[in-house]
Amino acid sequence: MTSDKQFITIQNVEKIYPNGEKAVYNFNLDIARNEFIVIVGPSGCGKSTTLRMIAGLEDITSGEIRMEGELLNFKPCKDRKMAIVFQSYALYPQMNVFGNIAFPLTINKYPAPVTDETLFSCNEVKTLVKQSNFAALVQLLSEISVERGGKRAERVATALNISLSGAERLLKLYARFGDSAEQWLAELQRQEEAQRSANQQKGIALNESFHVVDAEGKEVIRPRKLTPFEIKKKVYETAEKLDLTPYLDKLPRELSGGQMQRVALGRAIIKNVPVFLMDEPLSNLDAKLRLTMRSEIVKLHNRIGATTVYVTHDQTEAMTMADRIVVMSRGFIQQIDSPEDVYSAPANLFVAKFIGSPAMNLWDMRFDRAAATLTCGDFTLAVGKEFVRRYDEFYAEKTREFEQICSDFDETAREKINRILSATGEQPQNKKVKSKNLLDKIKRLFAKKSKEPAGPSAEEQLAREKLDALRNCLEGGTVAVGIRPERIVIEKVVEGKNYNGWYVTKPTICELLGGEYSVHFDFCGKDTVARLDANSPVTPSDEIAVKFDFETMYVFDPITGDVIKGLTR
């Protein structure tokens, strides 16, 4: 028995391709029922591979994926009760919208209880006769009975929201007995008694829902294909949810990008599964349509109560849609948190750079431990004794951690180094660049193996270098200092005002974004962005004063990428 907090459990999942390339490292995530999870990261980070492993489209090298406690590792994708929406709409061009949405229902069998259709439909009609307005019922039947075509039973079933067999029985009763409710009920009673007698002779037992049960009283479940009427009913219900009813007869080439995306969503929704997987479904749409469809997907998720795992490289989509965000880089999870915490409390340098538009401003500054200051060129910022204490504790702990890594360097230590590289943005050093020259290949093929013992690997050498760098930082060193654009205090210089402690400069670019300006200026040798209210217009010819509050700034270790000081709330 699993809780809603662990509706889907992904434990230590890894993916290694046949060529030895490792795409996903030790992926762990618990997904709650009805949760909207967004996996975000740059191209090649392993997010789509992870989604495909959940769907069953990729084999899992190691680890486990469970849904409601059931192991999915070796279960075919068609049996996983999941629906996937791909980046390409993957619509069948020869089928209209109706056919595309209905396709999953036409090719699959679905488990359903074995039902006694006679007793079920008789009970359905008896209830209708006794509880509804009988005169209105007869009027409806008289109007539909004179219609031409073979869809009369479907019309009745749709109008009265009953089964097709119940509608057919109603039409037969009306044709035989007219508007006599007493004769209808008597005939229904006779048919029920005959069916019960036949069931008794065959030894068939039913429950109160008219479903066949076995000797232990459990419902007998058998897979079956849906009837054309059941499929039609489900398609129209799905099309209505997605505002596609007017387009059911159109071919995909006659639709816009947004309409084709909704058809792809409809094909997933109609399967009525508890989990939806979406692999960058909006990347082919224009900016305005992407904004519209973004909100429509969230509304749809809330309306149908599904559990959604959504993959994207667009951090704006992640921030606006997710209940929780999983940030990935180079196959490693960098952070799992709510959108608010991922933005305001990034776990490392990669998350700080990747999340946010405009991105966080980051500069390399020198930390003077004795003076308790950060300096960058002529700019000096006081940090206080609390930061000095935190700095000392951080580097003492990291030094001990790397001493342990270097003392017993194994495969686990190698992965730790690669994870650090994924956070700092440094290139991995475990891949040797081989020459494509044919002569070089022949030389390597016939080269004699050296009898000298192999030296330390590139990762082990890098770990030792980082350990030396961490030890040097114990007395002070270079740190990465960051601040979000909206937290920079900026104003136009007013003549006569004292700007002691401010940084006075001129903007390089002033971008008007409706209600605010994005003001660019040079600071510490880098382009820096601040936000300014549009009620205070500024141009590149104006002089501006900029003030930084250390309490609203972040400090990261450039050696490991980890955060030393987060935002003081």
Could you tell me the residue ranges of all domains in the chain? 4-81+273-339, 112-221
Peptide bond connecting 358 to the previous residue in cis, omega within 30 degrees of 0: yes
The string of pLDDT tens digits covering residues 262-304 is: 899 899 889 888 999 999 988 878 888 888 888 888 988 998 8
The string of pLDDT tens digits covering residues 425-464 is: 888 755 544 555 666 666 656 655 544 455 578 889 999 9
Contact 517, 542 (CB under 8 A): no
Complete DSSP assignment for 214-252: -TTSPBPEEEEPPPHHHHHHHHHHHHHHTT-GGGTT--G
What is the number of residues in the chain? 569
Residue 109: the pLDDT is: 84
Residue located via tokens 């930084």: 548
Residue 173: the pLDDT is: 93
Q: By three-state DSSP, how is residue 24 classified? A: strand
> What is the band of 324 on the pLDDT scale with cuts at 50, 70, 90?
very high
pLDDT above 60 (res 398): yes
Q: Is the dihedral of CA 62, 66, 69, 71 positive or negative?
A: negative
Half-sphere exposure of 163 (CA within 13 A, CB side): 17
Q: What is the pTM of this model?
A: 0.82
The span from the CA of 544 to the CA of 494, in Å, is 9
Sequence-distant contacts of 143-146: CB under 8 A, at least 24 apart:
144/171, 145/171, 145/174, 145/175
The string of pLDDT tens digits covering residues 539-562 is: 999 999 999 999 999 999 999 999
> What is the band of 258 on the pLDDT scale with cuts at 50, 70, 90?
confident
> What is the band of 568 on the pLDDT scale with cuts at 50, 70, 90?
low
Residue 440: the pLDDT is: 64
Average pLDDT, the chain: 89
What are 490's strand-pairing partners?
546
> What is the band of 534 on the pLDDT scale with cuts at 50, 70, 90?
confident
The token pair at 436 is 């494509």
The token pair at 159 is 């109008």
The string of pLDDT tens digits covering residues 212-254 is: 999 898 999 999 888 888 899 999 989 988 889 999 999 999 9
Residue 14: the pLDDT is: 96
The string of pLDDT tens digits covering residues 83-92 is: 999 888 889 9
The string of pLDDT tens digits covering residues 166-223 is: 999 999 999 999 999 999 999 999 999 999 999 999 999 999 999 999 989 899 999 9
The span from the CA of 297 to the CA of 302, in Å, is 9
HEC string of 337-376 equals ECHHHHHHCCCEHHHHHHCCCCCCEEEEEEEECCCCEEEE
Helix (H) or strand (E) holding 63, with range, is strand 62-67
CATH architecture type of domain 4-81+273-339: 3-Layer(aba) Sandwich (3.40)
Poorest-pLDDT segment among 24-28, 30-34, 149-153, 420-424: 149-153
CB atoms within 10 A of CB 326: 25
The span from the CA of 167 to the CA of 155, in Å, is 8
Q: What percent of the chain has pLDDT over 90?
A: 66
The span from the CA of 6 to the CA of 28, in Å, is 12
Residue 441: the pLDDT is: 61
